[in-house]
Amino acid sequence: VTLGSSTLASNVIGNPNGDAFLRYYREDGSTQTASPSLVRFIVITLTVQNSGQSITERTRVALRDS
């Protein structure tokens, strides 16, 4: 993963279990949605592999009005 010419993360692979990188959820936090007006949470899934081991990190972001 890079930003411009800077490496932010290395050894990032696709998710072996088929999870999407980003998933969008409604206000109940468990129902996925594709409608931008209904999105209240985003779940980011990142899998890193090194020396044959895979580690998956999931981060849930709650969106707020400004």
Closest CA to 15 of 58, 51, 59: 58
Binned at pLDDT 50, 70 and 90, residue 3 comes out as: confident
Can you give the pTM of this predicted structure? 0.67
Which pLDDT score is estimated for 26?
A: 94
Distance CA 24, CA 26 (A): 7
Q: Which amino acid is at 47?
A: T
Higher-pLDDT residue of 28 and 12 is: 28
* Whether pLDDT at 11 is above 90: no
What three-state secondary structure class fits 44?
Answer: strand
pLDDT (tens digit, 9 = 90+) per residue, 17-66? Answer: 666 778 899 999 899 999 999 999 999 888 888 888 888 888 999 998 75
